[in-house]
């Protein structure tokens, strides 16, 4: 019987036949696909014909179809629904894939053909897209070590192989620690907790086959527990466990893995001729240099810390009023901030949350996409990788645009966080294909599923990424959708969050879970006024992580990574009662691979643009202005990575923004 991963997928939307795929299929399929792509690569490299764009770059873009199919399925499943078998496969596959990629980029004949084309690109009469694809292909090979020789080239291969192993181990250690820790709640521990959290704690226990109620290290459970539990002793236990992920010693400890990754990244950067890894990484981003990133982060840090210090004094006083005569700690902040929010804005999350039903917020995200871009969403019943997943056929004017998959609930087999990925990216060459896009979140499961306002923002955020994929309209997959610099990729996602703040959207879709009543105007007003509440805390915890990431990669490699983390936080005068959003041992953005290494700042870089980009709609007085929506799609969402980000943004807005737009949006203007 033909391996279902390698067979023709005669399925709706040509999606993977998940109901026919077993874990036993992946290894044999991957080996076949690797061999198949390597044969294609060798055929291109060994051609006797003079290199042309068609016989080299087009041929490269057309290669590896089987490999793309296998990996798109495996990575989707292993990230969102892992098990022991899939974790073992990931440990086996990571070095294989790194070695394969090194063999491709290390093929001297292949690189010679690409280099020849690049050196003569002005004579080739290429289209703008073709020139962009050629530039990116050449640059990718060079940055992977293709221009190195001898021992330097071999060392580069060793580094890439080792980094792939370390990144996989880091991720799996983190998942194991998040999966294994639980806090059992007795009758006293439940006192003071809102009903939605009790329901979520019960569902978490049922998923693990445990009687009673538990708090896990899922953000959807741990954060509301820290907000609402009056038991300071339990908050301390929960916070310390959350903060210590990946740093508990033993074979799941991530500190030494992160240390070795920093050393290897630095060595790789030097081999390629750069001062350090930050200089290497940022060269291809909008920021360009570590100095530009540091300048942005410093500009935000100063007013954010000033606000956080003021807030800390208020929360400290509130705690003393409760008779707790000690310093405010990290496990106290969220609890007293929630009490303060309730008092200051007369806003009680327990009363607000029933208005943010998951299903209604999905409809809200879809509804905004319909009004802005004319997209329609029809639910379809097809086999997917987990029973919690759901899918929609996305059309415009009756024409199929994309398949969208939503995987919204937290579970022990899913890594933490939220993300968007494309199981298939949009492209026109070598053959037309529409995208299959997945949004993955970690919301607490209940019936009905209720979200916090921040959860709803996360849903809109990830759907903004999905729109970037679904509305892509380019020829080559290499420049499709979210294939853009890290500090530009967050623009569409963070920009889309703003539509959740539009009062008419809330009035249309924020309906009470029990009564069905639409949210009242005065409650909408309170929610929007409170949207920037505690922004000093939120900004400080994020910027601290971004500064640590940058400093790790922009200076000499520390002898002890945790000592270095402490020194950096000391230098910036980190508030005592606020922790980094991602401490080093669980900083998955940076150490579960190199995707955001030296680039965690990118969320804030993009936020400078998103605040300004939405201001264009505000200036029109219409959040659904059709001319602006068309410009946004035409100049940014449809373009993928086909142009330089600065040029794409200028085409939309006519100018580049400044940091003042971000500070104003966060209410941090001094």
Q: Tens digit of pLDDT for each residue in 199-240? A: 999 999 999 999 999 999 999 999 999 999 999 999 999 999
What pLDDT is stored for residue 238 in this prediction? Answer: 97
Cα distance between residue 656 and residue 647, in whole Å: 9
pLDDT, tens only, 634-657: 999 999 999 999 999 999 999 998
In a domain, 259, yes or no: no
State whether 88 and 67 are in the same domain: yes
Q: Do the Cβ atoms of 421 and 405 come closer than 8 Å?
A: no
Residue 148 structural domain:
12-174
State whether 98 and 212 are in the same domain: no
Of the candidates 122, 143, 174, which is a domain's last residue? 174
Of the candidates 174, 194, 227, which is a domain's last residue? 174
Closest CA to 198 of 187, 213, 179, 211: 213
pLDDT band at 387 (very low <50, low <70, confident <90, very high): very high
pLDDT, tens only, 126-138: 999 999 999 999 9
State whether 168 and 222 are in the same domain: no
Percent share of the chain, pLDDT over 90: 94
What pLDDT is stored for residue 294 in this prediction? Answer: 97
State whether 53 and 186 are in the same domain: no
Closest CA to 172 of 655, 466, 592, 660: 592
Cα distance between residue 205 and residue 24, in whole Å: 30
State whether 201 and 155 are in the same domain: no
pLDDT band at 477 (very low <50, low <70, confident <90, very high): very high
Cα distance between residue 221 and residue 215, in whole Å: 6
- pLDDT exceeds 90 at position 348: no
Number of residues that make up the chain = 670
In a domain, 132, yes or no: yes
Long-range Cβ contacts of 300-303 (<8 Å, 24+ apart)? 300/539, 300/543, 300/604, 300/659, 300/662, 300/663, 300/668, 301/540, 301/543, 301/547, 301/572, 302/670, 303/663, 303/668, 303/669, 303/670
In a domain, 288, yes or no: no
State whether 151 and 200 are in the same domain: no
CATH label of the domain that carries residue 149: 1.10.1370.40
State the Cα torsion 634-635-639-645 to the nearest 10°: -170
pLDDT band at 187 (very low <50, low <70, confident <90, very high): confident
Q: Do the Cβ atoms of 168 and 94 come closer than 8 Å?
A: yes
State whether 161 and 211 are in the same domain: no
State whether 64 and 200 are in the same domain: no
In a domain, 62, yes or no: yes
What pLDDT is stored for residue 670 in this prediction? Answer: 56
List 37, 177, 349, 462, catalytic entry = 462
Percent share of the chain, pLDDT over 70: 100
- pLDDT exceeds 80 at position 492: yes
What strand order describes the sheet that includes 399-409?
376-380, 390-396, 399-409, 436-443, 419-424
Q: Residue 125 catalytic? A: no
Cα distance between residue 172 and residue 191, in whole Å: 34
State whether 57 and 188 are in the same domain: no
- pLDDT exceeds 80 at position 32: yes
Three-state SS annotation for 14-60: HCCCCCCCCCCHHHHHHHHHHHHHHHHHHHHHCCCCCCCHHHHHHHH
pLDDT band at 660 (very low <50, low <70, confident <90, very high): confident
In a domain, 479, yes or no: no
What pLDDT is stored for residue 349 in this prediction? Answer: 84
Q: What is the mean pLDDT of the chain?
A: 96
What pLDDT is stored for residue 47 in this prediction? Answer: 96
In a domain, 515, yes or no: no
In a domain, 207, yes or no: yes
Of the candidates 205, 222, 244, which is a domain's last residue? 244
In a domain, 55, yes or no: yes
Q: Which two tokens stand for residue 590?
A: 């940076």
Cα distance between residue 451 and residue 503, in whole Å: 18
CA distances from 414 to 176, 443, 648 (A): 10, 11, 35
Q: Which two tokens stand for residue 142?
A: 């060079």
Our count of domains for the chain comes to: 2
State whether 88 and 165 are in the same domain: yes
State whether 203 and 239 are in the same domain: yes
State whether 130 and 229 are in the same domain: no
């Amino acid at each position: 019987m033909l391996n279902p991963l390698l067979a023709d997928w005669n399925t709706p939307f040509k999606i993977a036949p998940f109901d026919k795929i077993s874990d036993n299929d992946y290894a044999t399929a991957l080996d076949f696909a690797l061999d198949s792509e390597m044969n294609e690569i060798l055929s291109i490299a060994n051609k006797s014909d003079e290199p042309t764009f068609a016989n080299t770059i087009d041929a490269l873009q057309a290669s590896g179809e089987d490999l793309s199919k296998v990996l798109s399925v495996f990575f989707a499943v292993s990230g969102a629904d892992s098990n022991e078998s899939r974790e073992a496969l990931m440990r086996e596959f990571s070095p294989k894939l790194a070695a394969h990629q090194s063999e491709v980029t290390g093929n001297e004949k292949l690189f010679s053909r690409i280099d020849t084309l690049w050196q003569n690109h002005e004579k080739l009469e290429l289209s703008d897209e073709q020139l962009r694809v050629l530039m990116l292909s050449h640059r990718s090979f060079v940055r992977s070590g293709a221009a190195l020789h001898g021992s330097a080239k071999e060392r580069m291969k060793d580094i890439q192989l080792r980094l792939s192993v370390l990144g996989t181990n880091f991720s799996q250690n983190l998942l194991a620690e998040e999966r294994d820790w639980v806090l059992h709640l007795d009758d006293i521990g439940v006192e003071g907790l809102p009903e939605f959290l009790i329901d979520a704690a019960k569902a978490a226990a049922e998923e693990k086959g445990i009687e009673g109620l538990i708090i896990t290290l899922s953000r959807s459970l741990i954060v509301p527990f820290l907000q609402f539990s009056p038991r300071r002793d339990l908050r301390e236990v929960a916070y310390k466990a959350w903060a210590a992920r990946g740093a508990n010693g033993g074979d799941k400890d991530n500190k030494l893995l992160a240390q070795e990754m920093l050393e290897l990244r630095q060595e790789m950067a030097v081999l390629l001729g750069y001062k350090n890894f930050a200089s290497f990484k940022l060269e291809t981003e909008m920021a360009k240099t570590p100095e530009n990133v540091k300048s942005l982060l410093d500009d935000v840090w100063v007013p954010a810390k000033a606000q956080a210090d003021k807030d800390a004094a208020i929360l400290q006083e509130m705690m003393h009023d409760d008779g707790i005569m000690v310093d405010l700690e990290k496990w106290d902040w969220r609890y007293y901030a929630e009490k303060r929010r309730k008092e200051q804005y007369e806003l009680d999350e327990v009363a607000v949350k029933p208005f943010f039903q998951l299903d209604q917020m999905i409809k809200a995200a879809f509804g905004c996409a319909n009004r802005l871009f004319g997209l329609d969403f029809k639910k379809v019943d097809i086999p997917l990788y987990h029973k919690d997943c759901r899918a929609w056929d996305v059309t415009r004017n009756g024409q199929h645009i994309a398949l969208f998959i939503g995987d919204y609930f937290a579970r022990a087999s899913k890594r933490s966080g939220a993300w968007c990925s494309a199981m298939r990216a949009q492209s026109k060459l070598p053959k037309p294909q529409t995208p299959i896009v997945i949004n993955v979140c970690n919301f607490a499961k209940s019936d009905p599923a209720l979200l916090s306002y921040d959860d709803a923002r996360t849903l809109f955020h990830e759907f903004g990424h999905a729109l970037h994929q679904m509305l892509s309209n380019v020829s080559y997959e290499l420049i499709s959708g979210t294939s853009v610099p890290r500090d530009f990729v967050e623009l569409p996602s963070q920009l889309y969050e703003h539509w959740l703040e539009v009062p008419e959207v809330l009035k249309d879709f924020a309906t009470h879970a029990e009564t069905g009543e639409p949210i009242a105007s005065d409650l909408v007003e309170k929610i929007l006024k409170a949207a920037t509440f505690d922004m000093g805390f939120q900004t400080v915890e994020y910027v601290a992580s971004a500064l640590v990431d940058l400093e790790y990669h922009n200076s000499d490699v520390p002898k002890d990574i945790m000592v270095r983390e402490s020194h950096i936080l000391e230098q910036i005068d980190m508030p005592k009662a606020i922790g980094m959003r991602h401490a080093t041992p669980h900083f998955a953005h940076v150490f579960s691979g190199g995707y955001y290494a030296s680039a965690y700042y990118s969320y804030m870089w993009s936020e400078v643009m998103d605040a300004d980009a939405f201001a264009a709609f505000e200036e029109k007085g219409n959040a659904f202005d059709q001319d602006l929506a068309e410009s946004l799609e035409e100049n940014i969402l449809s373009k993928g990575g086909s142009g330089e980000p600065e040029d794409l943004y200028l085409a939309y807005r006519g100018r580049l923004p400044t940091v003042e737009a971000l500070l104003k949006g966060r209410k941090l203007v001094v």
